[in-house]
Amino acid sequence: MGGFSLWHWLVVLLIVVLVFGTKRLKNVGKDLGEAVKGFKDGVSDDKPAAQLPKDEADAPGAARSEQARDDERTPR
């Protein structure tokens, strides 16, 4: 009633490869790797706003433009 042995895992791996095929498993692995890389890049706060793409720099919470700051300074 213990854990699975190495032979059990090899049989499971063989069945998975037979069912899905190596090409599909390769694509799944590649997609998963890209998703993890994108997640790590998104979580890291090491990038200054100048290096962000234009749509991320304009996102809410990003640094405001000079025009917006000037508009706030002018009395109404």
With respect to residue 61, please indicate whether it lies within any of the assigned structural domains: no
- Tell me the C-alpha distance between 19 and 10, whole Å: 14
Q: Which range marks the domain in which residue 25 is found?
A: 1-44
Going by pLDDT thresholds of 50, 70 and 90, the confidence category of residue 61 is low
Q: What is the pTM of this model?
A: 0.41
The count of domains in the chain is 1
pLDDT in tens, 20-52: 898 898 999 999 999 999 999 888 866 555 565
d(CA 5, CA 11): 10
* CATH number, domain with residue 3: 1.20.5.3310
Report d(CA 50, CA 62) in Å as an integer: 10
* CB atoms closer than 10 angstroms to residue 17: 12
Residue 65 in domain? no
Residue 27 counted as domain residue = yes
> For residue 1, what are its two tokens?
């009633």
Question: Would 37 be classed as within a structural domain?
Answer: yes
